[in-house]
């Protein structure tokens, strides 16, 4: 039986959703949005850090809370999906739109980054607080935007249709991952184990960023990520720098010299062979990059760059540079500690180094080249050890298909202005394996972050008005896919 406001197209046999049903769903979202915001706050309060060294029981508690939320908002067959050694995934579905309707696989992740320096936070990291900030009222808290808000976009859209529009016009499946932030290491095993559950015609992933506050974006390219931990050791123990300083090599100094060889004076990667592998930017790409609005003062404000610091520019636009060119970062470095900086020669020094890879770069070859460069640069015969920490390639979509035009229209309606098609400097390990496993199904990457969100850093926040607009856009997206998307 077809719910009120729905019919079947005589030409295609696909469900048609009336404008009245869309309006009813949007009206229900407007009335109930505070409830969905409370749903998000409940999830943020769970410290679901998936990194080693943090209590895994919190990630499991988060998965259980997400499962309860999915059931509450209308998903069925909700369950935790487990693979050995991994934090739990959450699965649910709603499959009552009929066999002729497209099936949409929704994705988000419920794990979060470590909180970082608590003394730098304006609020407690896991206590969500609404504070006025860039763009308007914002919700502060770890995971508020990345990516527990993504869960809310999915649950709010389904709830709006079921309780306002009468029926959702597309079949839905949802996967909420529990280890995205620590590299999705168990994803291949997850896909092998649960592949039959996941058949879909379109992927919708809510884990990316808008172009700016109130300015939507559809992400069509991602950088990959190669990471390594390097330890340089000179001694079997820490010793007195006065009694031994001079003849003994300093491993912290050695590591500093090694790291300095990885980039040139302009901050560009100087590891042999890596830049030569980057796929050249085409004339068409460059033309699109130049369309993106860019003001250096705003760029500095959004990033928090100090006034004296130089922007390391490459390519036609620093914004596009973030997703189209590679970068190298020292994420952490340690010898002793700031709190216990005694007059010592440290026994060893450690750093985590990552490279964001782009189209044309082989992540495995990049990993090998990074380790070789570090080892070759090690002075004084010190011992070097490596631990690999992530190795995923870049991804780019063919955005010429109908699903992308539907998404463009949906974002335009949800936000009240046209979106940009952009890339993302970050990585989502889920995208490529799932798109390939589903036979190249189009992957639509949307999100609620903005340049002030500060995901992964202290004071992560979400612009609340953009969360509501994203939920509205998701309603339009489901309707558009049901009306126009051909299997």
Instruction: State mean pLDDT over 332-341.
Output: 91
State the pTM of this model.
0.81
Cα(318)–Cα(313) distance, integer angstroms: 6
Of the candidates 377, 392, 407, which is a domain's last residue? 392
Is the same domain home to 72 and 182? yes
Q: Per the domain annotation, does 320 fall within a domain?
A: no
> Domain with 475 in it: what CATH number?
3.40.630.10
Q: Is pLDDT at 375 greater than 90 in this prediction? A: yes
Q: Is 298 among the domain residues? A: no
305 within a domain of the structure (yes/no): no
Whether residue 384 is found in the same domain as residue 416 = no
Domain membership of residue 458 (yes or no) is yes
Domain boundary among the residues 363, 392, 421 is at 392
Enter the tokens of residue 191.
């896909």
Identify the burial level of 8 via C-beta atoms within 10 angstroms of its C-beta, where 0-12 means exposed, 13-18 middle and 19 or more buried.
middle
| Residue 382 belongs to domain with CATH number | 3.30.70.360
Q: What integer pLDDT is reported at residue 6 of this predicted model? A: 42
Residue 302 lies in a domain: no
Same domain membership, residue 66 and residue 167: yes
| Residue 257 belongs to domain spanning | 224-278+325-392
Give yes or no: residues 155 and 248 share one domain.
Answer: no
Residue 36: pLDDT over 80:
yes
Do residues 76 and 121 both lie within one domain?
yes
Residue 249 lies in a domain: yes
Mark whether 350 and 405 lie in a shared domain: no
Q: How many domains does the chain have?
A: 2
Q: Tell me, what's the pLDDT at 258?
A: 98
Q: Could you tell me if 268 and 402 lie in one domain?
A: no
Q: Is residue 299 part of a domain?
A: no
Same domain assignment for residues 22 and 114: yes
Structural domain contains residue 307: no
Characterize the bridge pairing of strands 443-446 and 224-233. Answer: unpaired
Does 357 share its domain with 443?
Answer: no
Average model confidence (pLDDT) across the chain: 92
User: What pLDDT does residue 4 have?
Assistant: 37
pLDDT tens-digit map of 89-115: 999 999 999 999 999 999 999 999 999
Last residue of a domain, one of 341, 373, 392: 392
> Same structural domain for residues 97 and 41?
yes
For residue 158, the model assigns a pLDDT of 98
Per-residue pLDDT tens digits for 270-307:
999 999 999 999 888 888 888 888 999 999 998 999 99
When mean pLDDT is compared across 27-31, 121-125, 181-185, the lowest value belongs to: 181-185
Same domain for 440 and 461: yes
**In this structure, are 228 and 348 located in the same domain?**
yes
pLDDT digits (tens, 9 = 90+) for 222-234: 999 999 999 999 9
pLDDT band at 13 (very low <50, low <70, confident <90, very high): very low
């Amino acid at each position: 039986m077809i719910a009120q406001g729905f019919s079947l197209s005589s030409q295609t046999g696909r469900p048609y959703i009336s404008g009245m049903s869309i309006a009813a769903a949007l009206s229900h979202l407007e009335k109930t949005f505070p409830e969905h915001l409370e749903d998000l706050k409940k999830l943020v309060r769970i410290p679901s850090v998936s990194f080693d060294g943090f209590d895994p029981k919190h990630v499991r508690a988060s998965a259980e809370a997400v499962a309860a939320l999915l059931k509450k908002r209308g998903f069925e067959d909700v369950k935790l999906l487990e693979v050995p050694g991994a934090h739990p995934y959450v699965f649910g579905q709603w499959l009552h739109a009929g066999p002729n309707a497209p099936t949409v696989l929704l994705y988000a992740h419920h794990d979060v980054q470590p909180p970082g320096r608590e003394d730098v936070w304006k609020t407690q990291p896991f206590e969500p607080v609404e504070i006025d900030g860039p763009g308007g009222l914002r919700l502060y808290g770890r995971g508020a935007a990345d990516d527990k808000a993504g869960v809310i976009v999915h649950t709010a859209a389904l709830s709006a249709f079921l309780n306002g529009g009468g029926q959702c016009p597309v079949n839905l499946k949802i996967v909420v991952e529990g280890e995205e932030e620590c590299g999705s290491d168990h994803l291949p095993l997850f896909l092998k184990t649960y592949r039959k559950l996941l058949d879909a015609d379109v992927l919708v992933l809510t884990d990316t960023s808008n172009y700016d506050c109130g300015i939507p974006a559809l992400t069509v390219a991602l950088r990959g990520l190669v990471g390594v931990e390097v330890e340089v050791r000179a001694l079997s123990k820490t010793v007195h720098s006065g009694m031994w300083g001079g003849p003994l090599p300093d491993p912290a100094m050695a590591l500093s010299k090694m790291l300095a060889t990885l980039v040139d004076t302009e901050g560009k990667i100087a590891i042999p062979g890596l830049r030569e592998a980057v796929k050249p930017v085409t004339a068409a790409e460059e033309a699109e990059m130049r369309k993106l609005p860019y003001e250096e003062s705003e760029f500095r404000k959004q990033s928090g760059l100090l006034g004296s610091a130089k922007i390391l520019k490459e390519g036609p636009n620093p914004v596009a540079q973030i997703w189209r060119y590679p970068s190298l970062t020292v994420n952490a470095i340690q010898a002793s500690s700031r709190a216990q900086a005694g007059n010592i020669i440290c026994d060893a020094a450690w750093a985590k180094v990552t490279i964001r890879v782009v189209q044309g770069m082989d992540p495995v070859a990049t990993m090998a080249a990074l380790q070789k460069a570090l080892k070759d640069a090690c002075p004084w015969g010190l011992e070097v050890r490596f631990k690999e920490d992530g190795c995923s390639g870049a991804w780019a979509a063919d955005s010429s298909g109908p699903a992308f035009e539907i998404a463009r229209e949906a974002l335009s309606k949800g936000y009240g202005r046209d979106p940009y098609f952009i890339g993302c400097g970050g990585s989502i390990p889920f995208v490529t394996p799932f798109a390939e496993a589903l036979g190249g199904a189009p992957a639509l990457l949307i999100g609620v972050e903005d340049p002030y969100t500060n995901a992964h850093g202290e004071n992560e926040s979400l612009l609340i008005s953009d969360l509501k607009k994203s939920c509205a856009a998701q309603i339009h997206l489901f309707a558009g896919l049901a009306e126009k998307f051909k299997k």
